[in-house]
């Protein structure tokens, strides 16, 4: 009877493993991939000498077949001089790349919406990008605009700009049990935030909104606030209150009074 249970369990694990993707299906094992780290958002250029020094046989590669992959997607490229199918020593590759923020971290949480800081990764700020090539000549490319009549456009009175302020001062371990142990999974209120502040303390945060256009529509304000009070053994858990007015928001930490049991 015990053997029967064992066989059923093995079959179950086997079916489960084959039915799920591994996450590396994007790799074509007949191609070579050169990987490089990105730690800062921005526009990057890879020139002929850099490619040669990396050992990529660029003399044998049609630049139209060059492809860049990063953060789970193909990255649109601008390749100067690729139309002649030869990567000359004055040609180059340009692209926009982003470091690793918390774009994938929500998957580590029991509840994805519990992600505290979407701008700072729990693990690493380095994203690796992969350069490869094949014989296909219609990979993702930047659309080149040659519009010279910019004077015909009228200027806009305003535009929306995102101002972001985030902190990575202290790591909060999230929900604890009655014994103070942390959940092994990533849980509510777990992640990087400001230093903690206690009862009756005040915390001020300033967000720069340079060149504010007052005649425009209202701005949208969003804040992620976590509370990690675990003071129940002495005074009862603290509660956090967030208040916003037309001009500013403020946080209040107040004490929950525990009514003694009858
Ligand atoms: Ca060329």
What DSSP line would sit under the chain, residue for residue? -HHHHHHHHHHHHHHHHHHS--S-TT--TTS--EEEEE-S-EEEEEEHHHHHHTT--GGG--GGGEEEEETTEEPPBEEETGGGS---TT-EEEEEE----STTGGGGBSSGGG-S-TTS-SS-S-EEEEEEE-S-----BPPPP----GGGSPPPS-----------SEEEE--B-TTSPBPSSB-TTEEEESPP--TT---------TT--TTSPPP------------TTTT--EEEEEEE-SS-EEEEEEEPPPPPP-
Instruction: Quote the ligand 1 centre to 223 CA distance (angstroms).
Output: 49
Ligand 1 centroid–CA 181 distance in Å is 61
Q: How far apart are the CA of 91 and the centre of ligand 1, in A? A: 6
What distance in angstroms lies between residue 64's CA and the mean position of ligand 1's atoms?
Answer: 10
139 CA distance to ligand 1 middle (Å): 17
Distance 72 CA to ligand 1 centre (A): 29
Bigger pLDDT: 167 vs 41: 41
Ligand 1 centroid to 63 CA: how many Å? 8
Residue 44 and residue 97 in contact, taking contact as beta carbons nearer than 8 Å = yes
* Cβ-based neighbours of 212, under 8 Å, separated by 6 or more: none
Give the pLDDT confidence of 139-185 residue by residue, as tens digits: 999 999 888 888 888 989 999 988 888 888 888 888 777 777 888 88
- The CA 233 to ligand 1 mean position distance, Å, reads 72
Ligand 1 geometric centre to CA of 99 (Å): 30
pLDDT at 91 over 90: yes
Q: What pLDDT was estimated at residue 98?
A: 97
Confidence band, pLDDT 50/70/90 cuts, at residue 252? low
CA of 150 to the centre of ligand 1 (A): 29
pLDDT on residue 6: 39
Question: What is the β-pairing status of strands 127-133 and 190-193?
Answer: unpaired
Q: What is the pTM of this model?
A: 0.77
Sheet hosting strand 73-74, strand order edge to edge: 34-38, 127-133, 66-70, 73-74
**Distance (Å, rounded) from C-alpha 226 to C-alpha 208?**
22
Q: So what's the pLDDT on residue 231? A: 59
Measured in Å, residue 105 CA sits from the centre of ligand 1 at 40
Q: Quote the ligand 1 centre to 133 CA distance (angstroms).
A: 16
For residue 192 the two structure tokens come to 């990087």
Nearby residues of 208 by Cβ (< 8 Å), 6 or more positions away: 163
Cα-flanking dihedrals φ and ψ of residue 141, to 5°?
A: -135, 150
From the CA of 81, how far away is ligand 1's center (Å)? 4
Q: How far is the CA of 69 from the centre of ligand 1 (A)?
A: 22
Backbone angles phi, psi at 64, to 5 degrees: -70, -15
Q: What is the pLDDT of residue 4?
A: 41
> Is the pLDDT reported for residue 77 higher than 90?
yes
What distance in angstroms lies between residue 48's CA and the mean position of ligand 1's atoms? Answer: 11
What integer pLDDT is reported at residue 247 of this predicted model? 65
Instruction: For residue 33, report the distance from its CA to the centre of ligand 1, in Å.
Output: 22
Distance 47 CA to ligand 1 centre (A): 12
């Amino acid at each position: 009877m015990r053997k029967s249970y064992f066989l059923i369990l093995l079959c179950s694990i086997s079916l489960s493993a084959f039915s799920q993707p591994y996450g590396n299906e994007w790799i074509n094992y007949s191609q070579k991939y050169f990987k490089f780290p990105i730690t800062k958002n921005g526009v990057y250029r890879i020139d002929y000498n850099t490619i040669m020094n990396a050992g990529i046989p660029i003399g044998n590669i049609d630049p139209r077949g060059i492809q860049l992959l990063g953060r789970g997607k193909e990255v649109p490229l601008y390749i100067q001089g690729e139309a002649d199918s030869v990567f000359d020593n004055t040609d180059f590759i340009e692209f926009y790349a982003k470091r690793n923020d918390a774009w994938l971290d929500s998957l580590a949480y029991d509840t994805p919406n519990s992600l505290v800081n979407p701008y700072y990764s729990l693990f690493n700020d380095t994203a690796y990008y992969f350069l490869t090539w094949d014989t296909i000549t219609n990979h993702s490319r930047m659309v080149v605009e040659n519009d010279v009549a910019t004077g015909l456009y009228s200027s806009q009175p305003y535009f929306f700009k995102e101002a972001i302020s985030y902190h990575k001062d202290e790591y909060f371990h999230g929900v604890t049990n009655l014994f103070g142990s942390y959940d092994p999974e990533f849980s509510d209120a777990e992640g990087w935030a400001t230093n903690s502040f206690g009862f009756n303390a005040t915390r001020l945060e300033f967000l720069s909104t340079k060149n504010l256009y007052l005649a425009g529509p209202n701005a949208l304000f969003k804040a992620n606030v976590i509370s990690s009070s675990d003071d129940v053994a002495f005074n009862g858990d603290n509660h956090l209150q967030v208040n916003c007015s037309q001009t500013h928001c403020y946080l209040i930490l107040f004490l929950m009074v525990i009514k003694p049991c009858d």
